[in-house]
Amino acid sequence: MKVIYWSQTGNTKRMAELIAKGIEEQGKSAELVELSEISVDDLRSEEVIIFGSPAYGAEELEDTKVEPFVEALEGNISGKKVALFGSWGWGDGAWMKDLEERIESYGAKLIAEGLIVKELPEGEDEVRCIKFGKLIAK
Ligand SMILES: Cc1cc2nc3c(=O)[nH]c(=O)nc-3n(C[C@H](O)[C@H](O)[C@H](O)COP(=O)(O)O)c2cc1C
């Protein structure tokens, strides 16, 4: 399974690593993929799309790389399962709610509510990320 992420300061990347660990603990293989390494075309054969992005702008997605990637998912992920995650700093998680709604409006099915962690995952938040990975791989 590909764990796709974009991360400016490493917090969402750390979430991606922990989610990958959970997937592997569940007996599946996990590959970490930075957003710029992949195009939407590469996702055609993927049954499950796992994607992480931090909150940016004002409760938005980063606009030069992440926003275009999400826009390109429209028309290409209908019927697929999707798991979303991301780190945030000071807002109320609105960016994740918006992202969930967009992904559902593209015809995909969310495996679970998007996993959000404040800044760098540590302690209990590390456990939450690993559990999320296990849930995705089930
Ligand atoms: C330009 C910029 C805009 C941000 N906007 C928000 C925001 O709207 N809401 C929020 O909760 N956090 C916001 N943050 C905080 C980041 O989401 C937070 O630091 C997150 O952990 C960064 O994840 P990353 O290390 O994966 O890049 C912003 C950070 C930056 C640098």
CA 62 to chain centre: 14
The answer to whether the pTM exceeds 0.85 is yes
pLDDT tens string 23-51: 999 999 999 999 999 999 999 999 999 99
Residue 60 CA to ligand 1 centre (angstroms): 9
Spatial separation of the C-alpha atoms in residues 41 and 15, rounded to whole Å: 24
Query: Does ligand 1 come within 6 angstroms of the Cβ of 30?
Result: no
| pLDDT number for residue 41 | 93
Q: Which residues of the chain have pLDDT under 50?
A: none
Residue 39: Cβ within 10 Å count: 10
Spatial separation of the C-alpha atoms in residues 108 and 24, rounded to whole Å: 24
Residue 54 CA to ligand 1 centre (angstroms): 6
In the DSSP assignment, the letter for residue 56 is B
Q: What is the DSSP string of 57-88?
A: TTTB--TTTHHHHHHHHTTT-TT-EEEEEEEE
